[in-house]
A and B are shown apart, each in its own frame.
Chain A
């Protein structure tokens, strides 16, 4: 332990820590642009200036703690220099917050109001640079807004290792640029630089001018894209900002997905597939229970399903690896004794998708295989001749594999041609419409919260399993 004093508070710092880390670990706030806990120290923004008594001003992010040092983070001198630094940082910044997607969650905006608050002192015209530079099919770069903190270049060199970005030219003509041989578009983690950007320079094409961030609410969730189960925030319109004039689909749509920092699973990053959850989850939904393609009531469908289960002598169930821990447990409790159950692989990698890497992406593209296999075993699904009923829960089953003469009970969330061929089809909810937990491949359990109301007609699988085992009222 190294004892240091910050603002008259004695703090036990770890040897080797920097003053900034020691301050943040003890709840003392120091503003930063370029510093990030998971990236190397660049020390170029000078926002974290602190005063060390007897040594003057220096940046806290690159200052190791030494025994007995006395640090001031808010002395009049620090405040004066911080204000001056903000004058430098905004020297060529267009201050176009009114049309910038970052407004509302922008560090530069926040620090400007907190520490500067004055218009530019410069009478020189601002340096003009590229707007809407095409970094990749996912990211646009506004070089005028860029403050050259180099978080994005360090991310591509140190974390995603794509080495896609660098800084070209020098002085006030410096610009972030990609290089032709390592395109940023091939980096499956590229969108993290949008979150990393402390200003509005890096913009998501998906999210560009879509909405203001203060209309949105982040709901903690878990990415179902692979067995890593990264914790994420699903951003959707706040209930009080659901406007009638908008297309109603917009009020219930995923506006964007960002990582939710979780040291046990994904740290502060997620991959681009996690950002594209809307494409994965917002497909056309199935909302009508059907008997061989004929719409029926939920009660009627359940009644027929119970008949089929009662009459079956060799029923097999293919359990979804997208089901939550709660749903899997409900299936085991209510139907586990009736069916011979196998875990089904619901999703496989799409063409062109990165299969697996050292950082986050796992080859198993299902979120809850670990919990499903713990309950129902790892055996390959067997559909022997004589199987007379197959319960398919979720996507990914090849219906051509059905044994001859077997009846089919199908629970699915999306519109699919197979829905109409099932003897009984029941529409179910997806994980953004309910609370629950996924267990990732390491055994870490993460919780997700509901973001949206389920569509009318879709029922929670958990309730359906209970109703399939015994007659009960299910609300859909």
Chain B
């Protein structure tokens, strides 16, 4: 987190005094972008930097499921399991990926290349079923499209 401190200082200057707790969310986002996840030491350091109780940072981290406390693989596959995607075959895609990768949702392949996750609505119902690969959207999926994607990423 230390390398981000100049950036956080600039961010803090944009907020009125006494609003340190409002900085928790943007700071955590940057930490996750840099490291790939939020480590325990990041929580301690951010609490010390902002002067907010550590419990407040834990509250934010656990409230938003998008925050990760553990490293993920090279490619983070986040499959939507909400209504529209499920109706268009999303559940079958999850099973298909489980078989192809040999991991359950929440797990990472032994080679560290893929992490499989299931998420709630990605806001892409019009092109369901949808998945996020790291920050990129992959839409209108089918088993064949998923296989092709895995080949491409492997």
Interface string of B1-23 (1 = CB under 8 A from A): 00000000000000000000000
Q: How long is the Cα–Cα vector from A178 to B62 in the complex, in angstroms?
A: 13
* Interface residue B44 (Cβ < 8 Å from any Cβ of A): yes
Count how many chain B residues have C-beta atoms less than 8 Å from C-beta atoms of the other chain: 10
For the complex formed, measure the closest distance between the CB of A221 and the CB atoms of chain B, giving whole angstroms. 35
Residues of the B chain whose Cβ atoms lie less than 8 Å from the Cβ of A164: 55
* Interface residue A165 (Cβ < 8 Å from any Cβ of B): yes
Residues of the A chain whose Cβ atoms lie less than 8 Å from the Cβ of B54: 179-182
Contact B47 A166 (CB under 8 A): no
Q: How long is the Cα–Cα vector from A178 to B47 in the complex, in angstroms?
A: 15
Residues of the B chain whose Cβ atoms lie less than 8 Å from the Cβ of A180: 54
Q: How long is the Cα–Cα vector from A253 to B65 in the complex, in angstroms?
A: 50
Among A167, A181, A182, which residue has its beta carbon within 8 angstroms of that of B59?
Answer: A167
Contact B56 A166 (CB under 8 A): yes
* Interface residue A238 (Cβ < 8 Å from any Cβ of B): no
Contact A169 B62 (CB under 8 A): yes
Q: Which of A150-175 contact B (CB under 8 A)?
A: 157, 163-170
Q: Which residue of B lies closest to A181 (CB)?
A: B54
Residues of the B chain whose Cβ atoms lie less than 8 Å from the Cβ of A157: 53
Q: How long is the Cα–Cα vector from A180 to B59 in the complex, in angstroms?
A: 13
Q: How long is the Cα–Cα vector from A119 to B124 in the complex, in angstroms?
A: 41
Residues of the B chain whose Cβ atoms lie less than 8 Å from the Cβ of A179: 53-55, 58
Residues of the B chain whose Cβ atoms lie less than 8 Å from the Cβ of A165: 55
Contact B62 A168 (CB under 8 A): yes
Residues of the A chain whose Cβ atoms lie less than 8 Å from the Cβ of B47: 181
Q: Which residue of A lies closest to B63 (CB)?
A: A170
For the complex formed, measure the closest distance between the CB of B90 and the CB atoms of chain A, giving whole angstroms. 22
Interface string of A275-315 (1 = CB under 8 A from B): 00000000000000000000000000000000000000000
Q: Which of B44-78 contact A (CB under 8 A)?
A: 44, 47, 53-56, 58-59, 62-63
Q: How long is the Cα–Cα vector from A165 to B58 in the complex, in angstroms?
A: 10
Q: How long is the Cα–Cα vector from A171 to B62 in the complex, in angstroms?
A: 11
Contact B44 A169 (CB under 8 A): no
Q: Which of A254-289 contact B (CB under 8 A)?
A: none
Contact A166 B63 (CB under 8 A): no
Q: How long is the Cα–Cα vector from A329 to B59 in the complex, in angstroms?
A: 56
Q: How long is the Cα–Cα vector from A177 to B53 in the complex, in angstroms?
A: 13
Q: How long is the Cα–Cα vector from A151 to B39 in the complex, in angstroms?
A: 30
Residues of the A chain whose Cβ atoms lie less than 8 Å from the Cβ of B59: 166-168
Q: Which of A179-195 contact B (CB under 8 A)?
A: 179-182
Listed by A's residue number, 30 A-B pairs whose Cβ atoms lie within 8 Å are A157-B53, A163-B53, A163-B55, A163-B56, A164-B55, A165-B55, A166-B53, A166-B55, A166-B56, A166-B58, A166-B59, A167-B59, A168-B59, A168-B62, A168-B63, A169-B62, A170-B62, A170-B63, A177-B55, A177-B58, A178-B55, A179-B53, A179-B54, A179-B55, A179-B58, A181-B44, A181-B47, A181-B54, A182-B53, A182-B54
* Besides A178-B55, A181-B54, 19 new A-B residue pairs in contact (Cβ under 8 A), listed by A number: A163-B53, A163-B55, A163-B56, A166-B55, A166-B56, A166-B59, A168-B58, A168-B59, A168-B62, A168-B63, A169-B62, A169-B63, A177-B55, A179-B53, A179-B58, A180-B54, A181-B44, A182-B53, A182-B55
